[in-house]
Structure 1
Amino acid sequence: MTHPSRRHFLGMAATVPLAATGALALGAGTAHAADSAYVMAYFTESTTMLEADYGLHLAVSTDGLRWMPLNQNNPVVTPTLGAGGLRDPFVLRKQDGTFVVLATDLKGTDWNRNSVYIHVWDSVDLRSFTGYRLLKLHDMTGTHSWAPEAYWDAGRGQYGILYSSVNSSGHNVIMVSYTTDFRTTSNPQVFFDPGYDVIDGNLTVGVNGVNYLYFKRNQTLVGARSTSLNPGSFTAFSTAVSHGGTEAPTVVKSLASNTWYLWGDTYTPNGVFYAWQSTDLASGTWTPLDQRLYTQPLNSKHCGIQPITQTQYNNLVARWGAPAWNRLKSYNCPARYVRHSGFLGRIEAYPFDPYPDSQWKLVPGLADSSGVSFQSVNYPSRYLRHYSYALRLDENDGTSTFAADATFYRTAGLADASWASFRSYNNPTRYIRHADYALRIDPISTATDRQDATFQVGY
């Protein structure tokens, strides 16, 4: 999202502070030994704000990198108090194993609207939400309570709620207010103020005795650390990372390896998530992650991530449902997705509107049910078919020729067997591939051809 002043409204994110030794860490995003999946909370915006929705959205993942939106990428609950909308939702698993959801009280991009409140819901399992309320964080007038995140402070026996506000010096700082029940708070104070504008504090607690706070400074993501959770004890130390203007740092620990991921979000309405990786938080250095390895939920903004069990994952999918559509990502141009534009098939860089141009129903093949046909979501009477070898989106005229042209066999990816390729039904020596970003069917012979003809079927 874009804010007209230097005080960019930034998103908040949870952490998965699982120590490198496998020991459990206390704090935001605390992982349990039984965890094997993740849930993400987010809101949505798109390039023309066609998909601007300021309710609570959820997605799930088994690896923390490729995400499946729930409830067809629609909100699972929508705030009705305050501004009537949310930004930057955050999910915390509390000490009793239940969840609490926090979010900024702001709908849209009315940056001049200040609120001392945040939205709060309770949930046993993220399948239902109860106790909806506004929670007051401080008494400072004329400032905001942006991007809330919570963590357990064992030494205090309380939860700390981090958020961004403007201090008496006129710049953004990370504040903290304490609570035991997420119904009342006390003792608001500055948690981190390095003397310059900072926002979006994301806390990872108890990694080999050190706590890590990532935040946004000057459109980059920077880390600070402390051996205590005392306000004022953190010192910046890391190398800054960014991909253009980047906000909303989210530190996530892999549940299957000793790898940490740092997510960041571009702050324009057409936000794109980027990820970096590290095997050592103490080093403060991050390496960009190949975009082939991760896919954000469609039009997602400013996420919060929490580890969950496989049972919780299964129950969430059963409750909210998997998408009835797919998106196809290009293997060798992983920032691009298959879409129709002017009723022609092509790959274009995400994000774009109308975003339903990139949503497809992979239905049984029109000419052979063991194959697949690509039905458009926003033009459901139209299918991708080849015509003079070029792919275009045409009305199904009911003929056998159309059915044959619109049918493909899904195979193991020609460049990567974990991905997919699609062989033409009636031109079996030809596969769907992109050439100068246009989709067509061609014979495949070279390594470049194989990469052009390989796609990830995801969401």
Structure 2
Amino acid sequence: MTASHFLLAYFLSETLADGEQVRFAVSDGPEPTSWTPLNQGRPVLPSTVGELGSRDPFLVRDEVRGTFAVIATDLRVWPDEDWNRAVRHGSRSIVVWQSRDLVSWSPPVLREIAPAEAGNTWAPKAFWSNRRDAWLVFWASALFSPGEERRAGQYQRILVAETTDFVHFSPARVHLDAGHDVIDLTFLEYADRWYRFSANAHGNPAPAGIGHHIFEEAGQNLEDPYFEPLTFDIGKSVMARAEGPATAAHPFEPRWYLLADEFGLRGYQLFETDDLSSGGWSHRPDAAFPAGARHGSLLAISSEERARLLAASWPAA
């Protein structure tokens, strides 16, 4: 596969009746700066399982099996926006779709991956581990003691489980416990280093006012316990706040992209760098995303795959 464009999976605001459903858009060129929404911006993978909503969709190209997957948060907070319930008594499953061509998808299924003590299972993302010969699926959960009434909140930790087929998963284990909220973990790999991005709260109150934007670190592998901080607040000079990072590499050039969701305000903003190890990212104010797009993922696709997506018939609702 020769990559030339991007596929964006995203969802919209929980203030909309159909906002918490998976949507697709394809880039108009080799940079993620302008987009053509598929299905006229309507959902392409509506969830009919669990909480009947799907947020934070993550696209996976499984080259070993010749398949694709979308994994997403099983959550719908429309119309009451009851976040208290969502973080204490939310779903312990993720929603999974699989496909061989990005157009014909299996029905959505629930896969329970979080332990019984989890209050939520948010923003799942999958990365291939050569060391384990398996996909490592990362997500955020608040963890409670057995029998706890869950009246008080708990901070979000990052958990991880293994899978080879997105059907069977190993028992979850804690990947990152920072003692404060860390959510939306994602990675980029380049030159034998892994770069880790997250919405990292840095404690409450946050030291020196940091912690309301995207955090970048570098490590030797996905499970390195000693990731080195590179920058604390990407985009702070141009955004009021940010979470939901999504990352990708340019198809042809040594350049990398970071989408950061200025949630509740302008939505996705685009940043780029030609040196991942520097921690320096430049804002691309010329980038225009589908209206309201938030908390998604980018997948490099070929021109043939793009053409197939544009020609596909999608559900009417």
- Give the alignment's TM-score, normalised by structure 1: 0.59
Structure 1 segment 163-242 matched on structure 2, within 5 A: 163-167=139-143, 170-205=154-189, 207-217=190-200, 218-230=211-223, 232-241=225-234, 242=236
Match of 1:7 in 2: none
Kept after mapping to 1: 8 A contact 2:118/2:143: no
Kept after mapping to 2: 8 A contact 1:224/1:237: yes
Kept after mapping to 1: 8 A contact 2:137/2:162: yes
Cα deviation code 1:48-100 (max 9, x no counterpart): x3575222110001222211100000011211111011111111001233200
% same residue:
29
Q: Is the aligned partner of 1:137 residue 2:113?
A: yes
TM-align CA RMSD: 2.0
The count of residues paired between Structure 1 and Structure 2 equals 283
| Structure 2 CA distance for partners of 1:144 and 1:214, relative to 1, 3 Å | same
Higher Cα radius of gyration:
1
Kept after mapping to 2: 8 A contact 1:43/1:89: yes
Structure 1 segment 329-408 matched on structure 2, within 5 A: none
Kept after mapping to 2: 8 A contact 1:103/1:120: yes
Shift of 1:257: 2.1
Cα deviation code 1:394-426 (max 9, x no counterpart): xxxxxxxxxxxxxxxxxxxxxxxxxxxxxxxxx
State the secondary structure of the residue aligned to 2:254.
coil
State the secondary structure of the residue aligned to 1:304.
strand
Shift of 1:279: 0.6
- Give the alignment's TM-score, normalised by structure 2: 0.84
Kept after mapping to 2: 8 A contact 1:70/1:320: no
Match of 1:122 in 2: 98
Matching residue's letter, 1:189:
R
Matching residue's letter, 1:124:
R
Within the candidate set 311, 319, 322, 2:312 is matched to 319
Shift of 1:144: 0.8
Greater relative contact order (CA < 8 Å, ≥ 6 in sequence):
2
- Give the distance between the partners of 1:97 and 1:285, measured in 2 at CA: 35
Shift of 1:274: 1.1
State the secondary structure of the residue aligned to 1:72.
helix
| Structure 2 CA distance for partners of 1:236 and 1:173, relative to 1, 3 Å | farther
- Give the distance between the partners of 1:236 and 1:320, measured in 2 at CA: 45
Q: Which runs of 5+ in 1 are unaligned?
A: 1-31, 322-459
Match of 1:296 in 2: 289
Q: Which runs of 5+ in 2 are unaligned?
A: 146-153, 201-210
- Give the distance between the partners of 2:246 and 2:295, measured in 1 at CA: 9
Q: Is the aligned partner of 1:277 residue 2:272?
A: yes
- Give the distance between the partners of 2:251 and 2:35, measured in 1 at CA: 15
Kept after mapping to 2: 8 A contact 1:36/1:310: yes
